[in-house]
Structure formats: structure tokens, C-alpha cells
């Protein structure tokens, strides 16, 4: 990785950087985001639940949202014996569920009445106005950064995939998950209605909007990297470097989506619950860093470490959760311009900013020694 030297954040430097970043925020008004909302796969699946006709089943399988959903499931649990979505539909009976439910078809059936009502609200909702302005504050851009965001609302999918960004490639009317494909957002309404309550107004105004804000951050950040001289030259190929990038990327995304309802600002000092989650995430992060530096571990084991950093139950995602709290403390101390600056200068700037906050408040969890060493090496 190419090293980029960063000044310490003295008060003079911070004031100077704040002025620079204020200009960057003005440029961020040139961020343009267009949402294309796709709901057809959900509409047709609900229709199939009602009539079970083969013609409707075929219509379900022809939908882009269905194909993308199935490709994500098959890619995510690759190596396991997973039937096709078409075969799952063949086996499906309302009173005879399969023991395994890799595509969440059983869940979609059970939640169908709730998701149908929520889907109607999704179709009438204006996501553009409510989400885009919230993200502009954090992005330094040059010229116009224009992003078209295709969002697929589905009723089936990976069990932990309430919302995610992935890159897809379409070849011959088939979709695959690829590194260099088109970034899209996919949202599973069945998981949302199961996990987040019955109030559809709250589900769409808070839960779905925040999930889309989270995923939109990833999508815009990915597009920003393509026009950034820093990111063009400094992407990490090492496992530990990938973990540091994940901490910044997922941490900020989790922070933005969580902080929109002010839960961190209002609750962080109210009880010990959030601080306990924070301490546990940093403990797991320290273990993970040691594992990634362990020469006796193979690439597959280290890949699992990286996967666990941002997969599974919410509070178990130690990379994302530790990064979320870092972002919270950074913005609380230095303002949103510091988050923006970390996107401009890279993940080690993000780590350095948290290191400074932690040095001023030693009650906060310390960064793992291995990460601190990387920070020194960067300088």
C-alpha cells in the first residue's frame, strides 16, 4: 500500500482542515442520486401465493429481482448443497415446509399479509428527498458525482440479508454476483416485517429509510473511490488492510443509518448497554487482528475472520460495530467534516482520528496493537 502522510490534528490544523472541508461540503451539492424502485418480483410472488399456477410461477422466475435474489443466496452459501429457487417453489406447500429454507420462501409465505401492506407503502414513498440530503454532508466530491441506484424490493433471500449492496452482471438474461458489475441495493421485506415490528409507518419512515441510507452510503462511496486519486492508488490487497477498510466503510454506514433516529446521541450515556456492546466489539476486533497477523492461519481461515467482521447478527459484527462507535466519537468530537476528511484521505485517517479521540478520553476502548502498528507504518 502506498503511504500517505497525515498531519496530527492540532487545534490549528483542525481549524484549517475545517475550512477546507467546508468548501468540500459545498462541492458535495453536486452529488446527484436517482432511485429506480423495482417491486415486480414481490408483486408476482404474492400473486403466486394466491393461485399457485405454473404460469405465475414462471412469471416469478422471470423477474430480475428474483434472479438477483437467487444469485445472492447461491453466492453467499456457495459450497453447500443448495437447490435452485425454481426447485424450492416446486417443493413448496403451504402446510409442508422444507426443513431448510435457504431462500426464505417459508418466511415469505408466513409474512405475506404484512409484506403486502408494506409493499403498497413502498410504491408510494419518495425515498429521494428523505435520504439523499442526509448523505451529502459526508462526501467530498469533485465535479458532479452522479449515481443511479436500482433498488429491488423482494420477499425472499438470504436469512441475514434484510438489506445489502451487491454488484451484478447480466449475461443472456441471467444474473451473477461479480466484483466489477453494476451496484444495486436489494431489500427483503419479509425479514423487515419479521424483525422490526408491525407499524408500517415506522417501518418505512425509519427502518427502510435507514437501511437504504446505509446501503446508499456504500454505493456512493464505491462510486466516489473511482474518481478519487487517493483511492485509485491505495486500495489494500492484504487481509489486515481489508479489515481496516471494512471498519471505516461499514462503520460509517452503520453509524449513519443508526444515528438518524438519534439513538446513539440520546442513549450512549444513558445506560451501559451500548458501552458494553462497544467494549465487546473492540475485544473481538483485537482477537481478529491477531488472527490476521498469525502466519499459521491459512487464507480460508482469514477470509472467515473478515466475513465475521460484517456478517451475522447485528451486534456480533465486530468490524462494523467497532467502526460505528469510532464514527460516533469522531463526529461528536470533530464534527461531520472529520468523517468527510476520512473518506477523502482513507481508512488510516479514520483510525487516526479515533486514536486522537481515545487519547483524550481513556475510558474509550483502545485500538488493537496491530492496528496501531499499521498506523505508525503509514507515517
**What pLDDT is recorded for position 229?**
83
**What pLDDT is recorded for position 80?**
61
**What pLDDT is recorded for position 375?**
73
Average pLDDT per consecutive 10 residues, the chain (379 residues; last block may be shorter): 34 42 51 92 97 95 97 81 88 69 94 97 87 85 81 95 93 90 95 95 92 92 88 85 95 86 76 93 96 93 94 92 96 94 94 97 94 74
The answer to whether 170 and 78 have CB atoms below 8 angstroms apart is: no
Return d(Cα 178, Cα 200) in angstroms, integer. 34
Strands 182-188 and 31-38: unpaired
Q: 163: closest CA among 75, 274, 257, 262?
A: 257
Burial class (CB in 10 A: 0-12, 13-18, 19+), 248: buried
The answer to whether 355 and 326 have CB atoms below 8 angstroms apart is: no
pTM: 0.82
**What pLDDT is recorded for position 83?**
87
Cα-flanking dihedrals φ and ψ of residue 358, to 5°? Answer: -65, -35
**What pLDDT is recorded for position 142?**
65
pLDDT tens for each residue of 279-309: 999 999 999 999 999 999 999 999 999 999 9
Cite the beta strand spans of 280-369 per DSSP E: none
What is the 3-state composition of the chain as percent helix, strand, coil, each rounded to the nearest 5?
65, 10, 25
Amino acid at each position: 500500500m502506498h503511504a500517505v502522510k497525515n498531519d496530527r490534528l492540532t487545534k490549528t490544523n483542525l481549524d484549517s482542515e475545517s475550512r477546507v472541508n467546508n468548501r468540500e461540503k459545498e462541492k458535495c451539492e453536486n452529488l446527484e442520486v436517482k432511485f429506480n424502485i423495482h417491486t415486480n418480483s414481490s408483486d408476482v410472488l404474492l400473486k403466486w401465493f394466491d393461485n399457485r399456477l405454473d404460469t405465475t410461477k414462471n412469471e416469478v422466475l422471470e423477474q430480475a429481482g428474483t434472479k438477483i435474489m437467487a444469485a445472492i443466496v447461491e453466492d453467499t452459501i456457495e459450497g453447500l448443497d443448495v437447490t435452485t429457487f425454481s426447485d424450492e417453489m416446486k417443493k413448496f406447500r403451504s402446510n409442508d415446509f422444507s426443513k431448510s429454507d435457504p431462500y426464505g420462501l417459508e418466511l415469505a409465505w408466513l409474512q405475506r399479509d404484512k409484506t403486502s401492506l408494506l409493499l403498497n407503502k413502498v410504491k408510494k414513498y419518495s425515498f429521494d428527498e428523505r435520504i439523499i440530503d442526509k448523505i451529502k454532508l459526508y462526501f467530498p466530491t469533485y465535479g458532479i458525482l452522479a449515481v443511479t441506484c436500482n433498488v429491488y424490493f423482494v420477499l425472499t433471500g438470504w436469512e441475514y440479508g434484510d438489506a445489502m449492496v451487491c454488484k451484478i452482471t447480466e449475461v443472456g438474461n441471467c444474473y451473477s454476483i461479480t466484483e466489477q458489475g453494476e451496484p444495486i441495493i436489494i431489500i427483503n421485506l419479509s425479514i423487515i416485517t419479521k424483525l422490526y415490528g408491525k407499524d408500517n409507518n415506522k417501518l418505512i419512515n425509519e427502518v427502510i429509510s435507514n437501511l437504504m441510507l446505509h446501503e446508499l452510503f456504500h454505493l456512493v462511496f464505491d462510486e466516489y473511490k473511482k474518481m478519487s486519486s487517493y483511492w485509485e492508488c491505495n486500495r489494500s490487497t492484504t487481509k489486515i488492510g481489508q479489515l481496516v477498510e471494512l471498519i471505516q466503510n461499514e462503520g460509517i454506514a452503520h453509524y449513519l443509518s443508526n444515528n438518524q433516529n438519534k439513538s446513539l446521541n440520546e442513549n450512549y450515556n444513558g445506560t451501559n448497554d451500548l458501552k458494553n456492546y462497544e467494549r465487546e466489539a473492540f475485544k473481538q476486533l483485537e482477537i481478529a487482528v491477531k488472527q490476521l497477523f498469525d502466519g499459521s492461519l491459512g487464507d480460508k481461515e482469514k477470509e472467515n475472520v473478515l466475513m465475521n467482521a460484517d456478517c451475522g447478527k447485528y451486534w456480533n459484527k465486530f468490524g462494523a460495530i467497532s467502526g460505528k462507535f469510532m464514527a460516533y466519537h469522531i463526529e461528536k468530537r470533530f464534527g461531520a467534516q472529520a468523517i468527510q476528511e476520512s473518506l477523502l484521505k482513507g481508512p488510516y485517517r479514520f483510525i487516526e482520528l479515533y486514536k486522537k479521540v481515545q487519547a483524550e478520553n481513556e475510558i474509550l476502548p483502545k485500538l488493537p496493537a496491530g492496528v496501531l502498528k499499521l498506523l505508525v507504518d503509514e507515517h
